Amino acid sequence: MNSQQEFVLRTVEERDIRFVRLWFTDILGYLKSVAVAPAELENAFEEGIGFDGSAIEGFSRVSESDTIAKPDPSTFQLMPLGVDDSGMNSARMYCDITMPDGQPSWADPRQVLRRQVHAAADEGFTCYIHPEIEFFLVKSLDTDGRPPVPTDNGGYFDQAVHDDAPMFRRDAIAALENMGISVEFSHHETAPGQQEIDLRYADVLTMSDHIMTFRYLVKEVAMKNGVYATFMPKPFTDHAGSAMHTHMSLFEGDINAFHDPDDEYNLSQTARQFIAGILTHAPEISAVTNQWANSYKRLMFGNEAPTAATWGVSNRSAMVRVPTYRPGKVSSRRIEVRSLDSACNPYLAYSVLLAAGLKGIKEGYELQAPAEDDISSLTRRERRALGYEDLPSSLDQALRLMERSELVADTLGEHVFEFFLRNKWREWQEYQSQITQWELRSNLDY
C-alpha cells in the first residue's frame, strides 16, 4: 500500500467518514457512482470494485461485462457538509476503469485523456487548463418540452438582485473551495439566469476531474437554493448559449512553452503550431467538443460563439483567442479556445484538442494571419472569400467529418470512437424524426 492510500485510510478513520463515493464517467460524460463503506476501502485499493460494464453506456458487451473500478487516491476529497441530505460525513475519489486482468479499459474516458497526457509528456510538455464554465439557473427542469423560466432577468455582470436564488454563487463557490477546487471569478453572464464560474488553472487531467465535480456540486447547490442548474448548450432561442471557454498552455518544466518575448504577439513557434493544429482539425473534432444536436444551435448563429476555425488577438469572435499579453506575466501566456460548450465530456474534449495541437507541433503546421473581423457578423460567402473555414453547422455534418478523421479515431481509440459515433447517429436520427412546432405552424395550412 502506498503513502497516498495510507493517507486516505487514515483520514477516513480520523474524520469519521461513513461512506466513500467512487466516481467515473461513461463515454457521454454522465457521472457514475458507487458508494463503499470504510471497511471495504482497503480491498478496493488492492482489487478494485467489480461491476457490470455492459450496463454502462458504451463500456463493454455482455460477453465481456466484468469490469473493475480502481480508486485513484490522489483524487480523494471530503464532500462538503450540507450538499446532500445524508447528514453523514462522506468523501469521493475518481476511479480508473480496468479489465479483470488489470489492463486499462479502452472505454474509460479518463484513460483516453491519460494517453494524451503521456503523449504530451513524451514531447516534454505538461498541459494546463483554465475553463470559464457557463450554465443557466432555471425555476424548473420539468417543462414538458417548453422553454424553461430563468431565475432572474439580469445581464452581463449584473448583480441580479431580483433573483430567486441570491445566495447561489456564494454557496457554490464555498462548496467548490471546500473540495480543493480553486475559483478565480464568478459573475452573471449575458442572458437571464445565466451564470459563469471560472476555475483556477490545473493540469488537464486534474481539471477534467474538477469539471465533473463542478457539475455535480452546482446542480446540488442549485437544488438547495430552490432552483435548478442546466448545462444544456442553448436552452433559449433569443439568448446566447453556454460555453466552456478554455484557456490552454504548455509548459516545459517551469517554462511556458507558449511565450516568446521577440514575437509581435509574444507567441512562440510552439504556440503558433499548437493553434494551427487545433484550427486545422477543428471541423473533425467538433462532434466531440460539441457533442449534442443542441450544441449547433449555439455555434451556428454566432451569438457569443465562433462560426469558423479562425484565430485572433483579443478577438472574441474567433474560435481561438490570444489574450493581450501583460508585460512580466510570462507564465500566463496562453490561448483561449472558445468553441467548447459546457455539456461536453471534458476528458474526451480535451483529449482531441490536445491531440490536434500536438500534431500541429510535431508536423510543423503553419499558422495563418490572425482574423481582425467580427467573424460572427460575416455572411457565409464573406467568410469563404476571406479564406475562413466554417465549423460544422449541425451534429450531422460534424459526425460525417469525424467518421473520416484518423486523428479522432487514433485519439479516442477504436472502442470509444465506434460507440460514440453509433450513439450520436442515433441521437441525430431521433432529432430528425421530430415534427417541430415551427413545421406545423409553417406548413400545416398548405
Mark whether 277 and 412 lie in a shared domain: yes
Q: Is 298 annotated as a binding residue?
A: yes
Q: Is 433 annotated as a binding residue?
A: no
Q: Is 272 annotated as a binding residue?
A: no
pLDDT tens digits, the chain, 446 residues: what are they?
789 999 999 999 999 999 999 999 999 999 998 899 999 999 999 988 887 666 566 555 433 456 889 999 999 999 997 776 666 889 999 999 988 888 888 889 999 999 999 999 999 999 999 999 999 999 999 998 889 999 988 777 666 555 778 889 999 999 999 999 999 999 888 899 999 999 999 999 999 999 999 999 999 999 999 999 999 999 999 999 999 999 999 999 999 999 999 998 999 999 999 999 999 999 999 999 999 999 999 998 767 799 999 999 988 889 999 998 777 778 889 999 999 999 999 999 999 999 999 999 999 999 999 988 888 888 888 888 888 999 999 999 999 999 999 999 999 999 899 999 999 999 999 999 999 999 999 999 99
Q: Is 188 annotated as a binding residue?
A: no
Mark whether 141 and 273 lie in a shared domain: yes
> 316-328 as b/e, with b when 16 or more CB fall inside 10 Å?
ebbbbbbeebeee
| Residue 106 located in a structural domain | no
| Residue 1 located in a structural domain | no
| Residue 277 located in a structural domain | yes
Q: Is 418 annotated as a binding residue?
A: no
Q: Where are the alpha helices (DSSP H) in 256-405?
A: 269-289, 295-300, 346-362, 380-385, 395-403
Is residue 334 within 8 Å of residue 247, measured between CB atoms?
yes
- Predicted pLDDT of residue 253: 95
Among 59, 75, 101, the domain-final residue is 101
Q: Is 40 annotated as a binding residue?
A: no
Q: Is 232 annotated as a binding residue?
A: no
Residue type, 8: V
- Predicted pLDDT of residue 64: 45
Mark whether 70 and 194 lie in a shared domain: no
Among 69, 101, 133, the domain-final residue is 101
Mark whether 361 and 231 lie in a shared domain: yes
| Residue 326 located in a structural domain | yes
Measure CA 70 to chain center.
23
Identify which of 335, 328, 361 has the alpha carbon closest to the alpha carbon of residue 125.
361
Q: Is 189 annotated as a binding residue?
A: yes
Mark whether 141 and 267 lie in a shared domain: yes
CATH of the domain at 65: 3.10.20.70
Mark whether 148 and 91 lie in a shared domain: no
- Predicted pLDDT of residue 157: 61
Q: Is 304 annotated as a binding residue?
A: yes
Mark whether 95 and 198 lie in a shared domain: no
- Predicted pLDDT of residue 84: 66
pTM over 0.75: yes
Q: Is 196 annotated as a binding residue?
A: yes
| Residue 109 located in a structural domain | no
Q: Is 1 annotated as a binding residue?
A: no
Q: Is 184 annotated as a binding residue?
A: yes
Mark whether 251 and 306 lie in a shared domain: yes
Among 40, 68, 101, the domain-final residue is 101
- Return d(Cα 51, Cα 32) in angstroms, integer: 12
- Return d(Cα 127, Cα 257) in angstroms, integer: 10
Please identify which residue in the block is written with the cell numbers 480520523: 14
Is residue 35 within 8 Å of residue 88, measured between CB atoms?
no
- Predicted pLDDT of residue 377: 83
Domain count, the chain: 2
- Return d(Cα 174, Cα 191) in angstroms, integer: 24
The C-alpha cell of 149 is what? 423560466
- Return d(Cα 227, Cα 43) in angstroms, integer: 39
User: Distance between terminal CA atoms of the chain?
Assistant: 73
| Residue 107 located in a structural domain | no
- Predicted pLDDT of residue 52: 66
- Residue 40: domain span: 11-101
CATH of the domain at 125: 3.30.590.10
